[in-house]
Amino acid sequence: MVLAKIVKEDQKLLWVRVASRFKDKAGRAMHPETLREKVLGKSEGQSREGSKAGSVKNGWGVRWL
């Protein structure tokens, strides 16, 4: 149980860490949720309907299978 809680908390903070690193490298601040949506191509709870053959287009126009 303890390990599961640690992993769950780490997942919550993942995009906060990514946003922090992005600001360090790019010099631009972006909200963690915005970065997550751009990388993953969708928000939690959204379906992949409308995407081609199971691929997902992310915020930068790149298609992931």
Note down the domain range covering 23: 1-34
Look at residue 28 and tell me if it is in a domain. Answer: yes
Place of tokens 């992931």: 64
% of the chain residues with pLDDT over 70? 65
Look at residue 53 and tell me if it is in a domain. Answer: no
Compute the distance between CA of residue 2 and CA of residue 35 in angstroms, rounded to an integer: 29
> How many domains does the chain divide into?
1
> Which spans in 1-65 are helix H?
2-26, 32-40
Look at residue 45 and tell me if it is in a domain. Answer: no
> Which tokens is 62 given?
């790149």
Look at residue 14 and tell me if it is in a domain. Answer: yes
Give the model confidence (pLDDT) of 25-65 as tens digits.
999 999 999 998 998 887 555 555 554 555 556 566 655 54
Predicted model pTM? 0.56
Look at residue 50 and tell me if it is in a domain. Answer: no
Give the model confidence (pLDDT) of 8-29 as tens digits.
888 889 999 999 999 999 999 9
Pick the closest to residue 35 from 54, 22, 45 (CA basis): 22
Rg (CA), the chain: 14
Look at residue 43 and tell me if it is in a domain. Answer: no
Look at residue 59 and tell me if it is in a domain. Answer: no
Residue 65 has a pLDDT of 47
